[in-house]
Amino acid sequence: MYSYLDTLDCKGSIITIDAIACQQAIVEKIRDKQAHYVIALKANQGVLYEQVAHFMQINKSALAFNQQLDKAHGRGEERRVYIAQCIDLVEEKEKWQDLHTLVMVERKRIIAGKKQEQTLFYISSLTDTDPALYSRYIRGHWAIENGLHWQLDVTFREDEAKVRKDKGPINLHLIRKWSLHLLKKEPSCVSVKRKRKKANRDTNFLLAILKT
């Protein structure tokens, strides 16, 4: 991910990233490229996650939030996106370049009559004070990720991967995502699956993809 950012002209962009790439070096690279970040956190990231979750939950009643309700195809979802910008009490703040805003997303869903609840946390370099903007950025990322995960599962059979040791799963996940990106950039009007098979058989086609 770090090296990939070097290839992008992302000045002025807002980069949304899964927790798998929540690293200080990546945050610094994004800011060096004069872009902003909205990055997810996971519980296994230790102190930062714990401090953000604690701060957002104890201050929840005083935070600005945006609420959205969706109903379609027998599914219902309620989302509340809370933001906080007076975050000096979060000790880990100084370790993350230009961290200005914390985001908490509460999702309540009913799927096939079953209720599901989820709370997610994000960090951001943005200073916008409208929770609806963060809601839009995060939902846009989810939409892309849903399509991406489908392709990784169906075309690359990622869910069947056997690698579990050390950083192997992360490295292979990033390689698959990069491969998918290159396959989609190739201009011929055929499916990603067919392009992948052709690249496996045709060295010239493979080289053309790598040069796109």
> pLDDT value at position 63?
95
Q: Of how many residues is the chain composed?
A: 212
Inform me whether the pLDDT recorded for 45 exceeds 90: no
Helix axes 168-185, 203-210, angle to 10 degrees: 100
> pLDDT value at position 2?
65
For range 53-66, the mean pLDDT: 95
What are the residues facing 118 on neighbouring strands?
A: 107
Compare 140 and 2 and report the one with higher pLDDT.
140
Q: Which amino acid is at 13?
A: S
pLDDT category, 101, cuts 50, 70, 90? very high
- Edge-to-edge strands of the sheet including 101-111? 14-17, 36-40, 114-124, 101-111, 75-84, 64-72
> pLDDT value at position 36?
96
Segment 144-164, tens digit of pLDDT: 666 666 677 767 777 677 777
Pairing of strands 64-72, 75-84: antiparallel
Structure tokens at 57: 């939950």
The phi and psi torsions of 85 (rounded to 5 degrees) equal: -125, -15
Q: In sequence order, what E strands does 5-163 have?
A: 14-17, 36-40, 64-72, 75-84, 101-111, 114-124
The pTM is what? 0.70
CA–CA separation, 100 vs 7, rounded Å?
A: 26
By C-alpha distance, which of 107, 117, 121 is closest to 51? 121
Compare 144 and 134 and report the one with higher pLDDT.
134
